[in-house]
Structure 1
Amino acid sequence: MKLEKNCIDSQELSGMDREIALMLQKNARMPFTRIAEILGVSERTIRMRVAQMQESGILSLVGVINPIKVGLNVQTFVLLAAEQHSLEEVVAQLKEMDEVRFVVLITGEYQIFAEVMTRSYEDLSQWIIQKLNKIEGIQKTNVMPVLKKMKSSYNFVK
């Protein structure tokens, strides 16, 4: 079986933990009693294994909200080049903005990548003018609204 890049190899999780993770990845609301029944172990064992995976940071059980269904219709990727001495302050300001959902440091021509969600293109324009352009230390940006999402996956265990 060919694994996608950045997927956890089955060797990194024990057999049972891998099976539990696969089931919860497909249906995070699957009852532990059902998982225990499928794997032939006690519900207590499943509860303990899930708790261990959560404590170790391997597993998080969260609800994934469809942004469009809550009115966030415009997804935008933003690349930012910043002055080296301003990098941490630029990131700190981006992290405080409600519109910014994701921020990482990257290599290359730009040092920062951010994902921004807004209700409309007008809101995106206002965010750029009223917030982004006021951050000192940004040398240049590349603002890329998403035209069409082609793939979105949360399946990291294969």
Structure 2
Amino acid sequence: MDKIAQDVGDVQSRLLDHRPVINAEIRYFVREFEEKRGHRESRLLENLNKMVMESNEQMLPTNLESITQQLSDVAKRLEAANHMVERVQQRELEAQQSTQLQGNMERLKEEWAEFLKEQQRLKEDVDEEHAKAVGHLSTQYSEMKRELTKFPSI
């Protein structure tokens, strides 16, 4: 029974225990990148890091100054463009209002002409009625005068 337990333990360690395989892979990796290549990648990475740091120290202030200047120029240009757009909008509004005023003036002139025509027509109607009334009164007074002439004066 001990032998069976030992055999089962050996089978389990071979099937489920991956530490020996992983340790071998780690040793191979270390040997490949550290021993064979002689720390070449780490030196390259250190050199790159050093170059980046120097570039940041030298270029960053210069870039910040140029960026600040460019942003200032852009802001000025945007401000000028905004001012121009406002002037164009103002001119458009004035032109539109002028067009509306002209339209209103023409409409008012047409209404005034129609009003004058209506007044003229009403005046002619009143004059006609007045002429009829005068004619009617004239005939009435003429008849009354004739009738009065028929009677002897007292």
TM-score after normalising by structure 1: 0.18
Q: Which has the higher helix share?
A: 2
TM-score after normalising by structure 2: 0.18
Q: Which has the higher strand share?
A: 1
